[in-house]
Amino acid sequence: MEQVHILLLRPVSGAPSPLDQSVGVKLAAAKGPACSKVILHEEPFRQGDLADLEKKLALWRGKVSGVIGATNVAESTRLGELAEQRNLLCFVANNNPSVWQARKHVFHIGLPSAQTAAAVAGLLAKAKRQRVFLTHDQTEFQRRVASSMEAALRDNGIEVISRAAFADGEAAVLKEWRPDLIYVIFSSEPKALALAQRIREQSSDTPLLFGRSLLRESFLASIGELAGETWFVDMFRRNDTQNETQRRFMLVLSDAGIDIPTANHAFGWDAVSFCAVALIAAEGDPLRAINYLESGLALEGVTGTCSFSKDNHNGRSGIGPTILTRWHHGRLEEL
């Protein structure tokens, strides 16, 4: 069949998440499993400007059959509405169920917060952690992550104290309660770095756990060894036990000069790969591609397996791909 045309719609932004997703999309389209049958187009829009997003998408009417959004929740929700109106197969990386709204054309492949929390709690129980101190940013997303994590830890018999931010009085709590793990649920590098420094003034040897959004080269370069024993929530192995899908992804990104791929690189890679596979199977017809995806077949991606249905356009089930990775002497190793 002829090649399928897919549009990457990305915000003009210096934020790491959309940048990394866009890089992952472009590398997968160029060197991924379906690259020979994909023609990728790219269109920037003003970040947060939903009218500009609609205007830029309109430029591609009749020219593409799929669209990938490197977009936040509000942008992805609007993109899903437009994709349905214009009969475009749409993939985004968000895990927030509000993005989907039961729209047939939208698939959102982010890992659900509750799924990740359950997996992390189970791994911490295996690591014999018994007392966890959570400190989180006050954004809606971070509050939701912290709430899911608190519940999952308690379900695994782990004591937990959860606090928004890290007030001056929390130092006394750390000293008195003596947790055996401190989980820092922040996405902002400057905030997380400053917080790690403050925590280390009070607790020099308790392991710090960071979320997967901070597992990127810039944060690791900033934190160096100052954080001491440092763990990260991760989603793929970074050693020789990777599966073939992950090995190809790692090799392509390494050739592109990216030594530490992020979760968002992987979400971008999988979004365009899944979109392309479905459109190729459907000979470019978005509705047939949707039926293909909703058939329940298992799609093996870098971020784990997705199996979609009419009632589930997230495709995630079970404990997912979550693992814990340790930053030790300048190297990442599975915990």
Q: Which of 270, 294, 248, 331 is nearest to 24 (CA)?
A: 270
Give the rounded percent of residues in the chain with a pLDDT score beyond 90.
73
Going along the chain from its start, the domains and CATH numbers come out as: 4-111+243-306 (3.40.50.2300), 113-234 (3.40.50.2300)
Picking from 200-209, 273-282, 305-314, which range would have the lowest pLDDT averaged per residue?
A: 200-209
Residue 330: strand pairing partners: none
Cα three-residue angle 196-199-203, rounded to 5 degrees: 130
Residue 12: strand pairing partners: 46
Q: Between residues 204 and 256, which one has the greater pLDDT?
A: 256
Q: Between residues 96 and 232, which one has the greater pLDDT?
A: 232
Confidence of residue 200 (pLDDT cuts 50, 70, 90): confident
Half-sphere exposure (Cβ direction) of 68: Cα atoms closer than 13 Å:
32
What 3-state class would DSSP assign to 247?
helix
Indicate whether 14 pLDDT > 70. yes
- Given this model, what pLDDT does residue 243 score? 83
- Given this model, what pLDDT does residue 240 score? 67
Q: Helix 113-126 and helix 140-155: axis angle, to 10°?
A: 40
- Given this model, what pLDDT does residue 227 score? 66
Picking from 99-113, 240-254, 264-278, which range would have the lowest pLDDT averaged per residue?
A: 240-254
Q: Classify residue 180 as exposed, middle or buried by CB count within 10 Å of its CB (0-12, 13-18, 19+).
A: middle
* pLDDT single digits (tens) 41-56: 999 999 999 999 999 9
Give the rounded percent of residues in the chain with a pLDDT score beyond 70.
97
- Measured CA to CA, the distance from residue 164 to residue 121 in angstroms comes to 19
Confidence of residue 224 (pLDDT cuts 50, 70, 90): confident
- Given this model, what pLDDT does residue 1 score? 60
Q: Classify residue 1 as exposed, middle or buried by CB count within 10 Å of its CB (0-12, 13-18, 19+).
A: exposed
Q: Radius of gyration over alpha carbons of the chain, in Å?
A: 20
